[in-house]
Amino acid sequence: MSSGFLVTADGEVFEGRSVGVEGVRVGEAVFNTSMTGYQEVLSDPSYAGQVVVMTSPHIGNYGVSDYDDQAARPAARGLIVRSLSLRHSNWRAEGTLAAYLRSHEMVALADLDTRRLTRHLRDRGAMPVAIGAGVGPEELAVLAAEAPRMEGQDLATGVSTPEPYRFDPDGDPVGRVVAIDLGMKRDIGRRMAGRGLEVHVLPATCTAEDILGLDPTGVFLTNGPGDPEPLEHTIGTVRALLGGVPVFGICLGHQVIGLALGATTFKLPFGHHGGNHPVRRLEDGRVEITAQNHGFAVDLWSLEGRKAPERKGLAGPDLLPQQVTSDFGEVRPTHQNLNDGTLEGLRCLDIPAMSVQYHPEAAPGPHDALGLFDDFLALMGLGTEDC
């Protein structure tokens, strides 16, 4: 196998070994702290435009399975690992990760110093990189320096479904949900269908009239990639829905709801990517370990025209407002990230709407937050029995 290189926008050069196809890819480098779930990560549409750096040193030992794909093909621009397993051993496996990478024409590097790269991204922030096999670092350095930043990019429209489709419920339907696809993972539809919901998935370009024409019990805003602020059409659609139908959003959908309420968003230094992020439930103080993948966050303080207080020491609830007034009434923060204190969830008190910044379906990750789907059922006035 040939050598390959990764060059950051600020000129750092990392050498590795090509384990994918030859070629060049450019994207924002982010590090993911999950120990497993590499296939779900690669195929998560939320990773569109990004090169994923796995911090766990050994990747690929249990192979790949078609069922674990979260979309028709990988969305990530590339993969960086320290050590790629040449063999796989798992009763579910249908092939190796290396073969998966090549079949999807992905550029990927192994034997690269992911510890040094992760420290660089943590200290300097997520940034564009160029990775390549069969090219030299000089060419990659030019491409990385010229690559656009994530801010201002609408990547969600590009990964959204071009045509509507649906998930049929397991058993008798208890309600109908319309999902606005900003980069939806398959396991989200499976989780809702397992609770007896008929799920209609519509493109990101759908209108409020398209949604209401399906007579939904509730509306779901999915995860997705990129900056939420350019999604003006979707934000307007959500504003037209709020107060008229129950709305639940996750990840990018959470950010879109925040913007629809009148708040602003901001870019995190290196984002939250992994299956082990601690989140405090503000109502009772309990902590959930969550799966996350996002680079932006909602600033609820902006609804009061105030700046967030400076963090000193451990992240505490005082870093978030207790309650704020939005264009649609009172809003209360419900969840907080314990690593940096940022907002991880909100609930509207005057209309049926709520959202969280993370992935309750996991895929991959822990199942601590699965109950949020039952909370969505309750928001729609339905039963909470898991079908």
Query: Is 1's pLDDT higher than 70?
Result: no
Confidence at residue 195, expressed as pLDDT on a 0 to 100 scale: 95
Task: State mean pLDDT over 172-184.
Answer: 96
Torsion, Cα 302 308 314 317, to 10 degrees, reads: -50
Q: Please tell me which residue in 28, 40, 251, 273 is annotated as part of the active site.
A: 251
Confidence at residue 346, expressed as pLDDT on a 0 to 100 scale: 98
Share of the chain above pLDDT 70, in %: 98
Mean pLDDT of the chain: 95
Confidence at residue 387, expressed as pLDDT on a 0 to 100 scale: 41
Query: Is 384's pLDDT higher than 60?
Result: no
Q: Is the peptide bond before 364 cis (omega within 30 degrees of 0)?
A: yes
Spatial distance between the Cα atoms of 202 and 182, rounded to a whole number of angstroms: 9
Task: State mean pLDDT over 99-119.
Answer: 97
Confidence at residue 310, expressed as pLDDT on a 0 to 100 scale: 87
* Residue 22 a catalytic site member: no
Cα–Cα distances in angstroms (integers) from residue 243 to residues 145, 155, 294, 351, in the given order: 45, 28, 27, 5
Confidence at residue 313, expressed as pLDDT on a 0 to 100 scale: 83
| pLDDT tens-digit series, residues 288-319 | 999 999 999 999 999 999 998 888 888 889 99
Task: State mean pLDDT over 11-31.
Answer: 96
pTM as predicted: 0.95
| pLDDT tens-digit series, residues 78-105 | 999 999 998 999 999 999 999 999 999 9
Confidence at residue 312, expressed as pLDDT on a 0 to 100 scale: 84
Confidence at residue 285, expressed as pLDDT on a 0 to 100 scale: 94
Are the CB atoms for 296 and 290 separated by under 8 Å? no
Confidence at residue 86, expressed as pLDDT on a 0 to 100 scale: 86
Task: State mean pLDDT over 249-256.
Answer: 98
Are the CB atoms for 51 and 27 separated by under 8 Å? yes
Task: State mean pLDDT over 134-152.
Answer: 94
| pLDDT tens-digit series, residues 41-59 | 999 999 999 999 999 999 9
Spatial distance between the Cα atoms of 343 and 315, rounded to a whole number of angstroms: 11
Residues 6+ apart with CB under 8 A from 3: 15, 16, 17, 18, 133
| Beta strand pairing call for 353-356 and 343-348 | antiparallel
Task: State mean pLDDT over 243-267.
Answer: 97
| pLDDT tens-digit series, residues 347-377 | 999 999 999 999 999 888 888 989 999 999 9
Residue 152 CB neighbour total at 10 angstroms: 10
Confidence at residue 139, expressed as pLDDT on a 0 to 100 scale: 95
* Residue 359 a catalytic site member: yes
Spatial distance between the Cα atoms of 55 and 275, rounded to a whole number of angstroms: 12
